[in-house]
Structure 1
């Protein structure tokens, strides 16, 4: 876990991409690889970084495009996660 934590810090480091963009990329990958806990985690991260529902929706469209049909179902879960998290603000 320590090594994974260090890798996470390294991935979030750098300045070429802002934090919101990195979270949106992570969310797209989460949908494409069908990782439910990852979807929830990175949806929340994207919201905290300032991503709008529209930005998340466009990100999910790219994930579906790259992940094919099964990603459609996971993209729906990511939008549901956004709506639930945003309602709790």
Structure 2
């Protein structure tokens, strides 16, 4: 059965909100790091999201796939661009990355259908 990446992102967001409330210093530090890493510089934000998606696939993190796919869809990524990123992740991670690239395609389809 395919995962529901839209619900997954929403569910994780609810729980990270709890963590933000319960451990505010840790979460503030994480969000500061994320903001610094995501900020456009030598690489634009879209390119950085591509890197994050590749890492999400290679580390087999479904919630990460959900968040970075959602961000890329909001940025206007095309299916062809998305698939090229997955191709690189598959190349770097072999068979296990191929299986999670399939998960990422499911996430892309779900977020694109909204």
Into which bin does the TM-score normalised by the smaller protein fall? over 0.9
Shift of 1:11: 0.1
Tell me the TM-score normalized by structure 2: 0.74
1:32 and 2:58 matched: yes
RMSD across aligned positions (CA):
0.9
Which structure 1 segments of 5+ residues have no match?
none
Task: Determine whether 1:42 maps to 2:68.
Answer: yes
1:50 partner SS? coil
Residues 1-89 of structure 1 correspond to what in structure 2 (within 5 A)? 1-88=27-114
Gaps of 5+ in 2: 1-26
Count of aligned pairs:
88
Q: Which has the higher contact order (CA 8 A, sep 6+)?
A: 2
The structure with more radius of gyration: 2
**Where does structure 1 differ by over 3 angstroms across 4 or more consecutive aligned residues?**
none
Given that residues 20 and 50 in structure 1 are in contact (C-alpha distance below 8 angstroms), is that contact kept between their aligned partners in structure 2? no
TM-score (norm 1): 0.93
